[in-house]
Amino acid sequence: MKKESFEKLQSRGYWRINFQPLVDEMKLKSLGDCRDIIEKNNVSLRGWNYPHFPRRVGDDAGLEPANNHYEGWIDWCNHKEFWRMYQSGQYLHYLALREDWAELNGWGIVPNQNVTKPREKLSIVGTIYEITEIFQFLSNLAQEGIYDEGVRVFISLHNTQDRKLFMEDPMRGPLWDDYKTNLEKIEFTNQYTKGALITKSQELAQEVILYFFDRFGWHKPPVEAIKQDQDNLLNRKF
């Protein structure tokens, strides 16, 4: 990824996602395998795949091999992300918060005027969808045999100080309070078995969703509503 694009991504809110195998050995024999496993197992549930697998190369997107990993990136409208898949099975992903770049969500033609300010809010439904997709992708990798011995997962949300949760769906009731964090960065880490990832990815994702909402002071969110949002995403019912 171009240095200026990566710096732009980090200038506002972003997720950092990292999967680390519990054993130190080569899981993927070739760099082509690193590329292919992302292409085969990325999750496409709402019109934009996770992680994004570029189908073209240009000034705003790329896909290329390195010494021991493959990497892909895009810097287009409010989609800004960068990933690496290593031969060791380690996966690293930087993903910009789309709500922080909403002014660019005009398909490059008409700027979106109905937006919030960068670093101001965190989408509730967007967070539910994002974390659910992360764990669905992780489950797919586990089924490929990448994490037979287990995996350590690190997920962090950056540039969050004074940020508030918001419900972007006008058909839903408003939040009854300002759920806000004073943390500049929120970090989550846990270790999972292959079996748990394959059989309980949705439940594991829900635990992480609740963890992040808790750090915003939303201690008792409606769990059933969160599960319904997950179900809607996984079954493509919007």
Q: What is the pLDDT of residues 141-156, one digit of tens each?
A: 999 999 999 999 999 9
Domain that holds residue 32: 3-234
Please state the domain count of the chain: 1
pTM of the model: 0.94
Residue type present at position 153: V
Backbone φ, ψ for residue 37 (5° rounding): -70, -30
Q: What angle do CA 23, 25, 30 make, to 5 degrees?
A: 140
Residues 80-88: what's their mean pLDDT? 98
Residue 98 has pLDDT above 70, yes or no: yes
Does 74 score more than 60 pLDDT?
yes
Whose tokens are 């989408």? That residue is: 123
Helices 201-214, 124-143: axis angle to 10 degrees equals 140
Q: Distance between CA atoms of 62 and 74, rounded to whole angstroms?
A: 7
Half-sphere exposure of 185 (CA within 13 A, CB side): 10
Distance, CA of 106 to CA of 3 (rounded, Å): 24
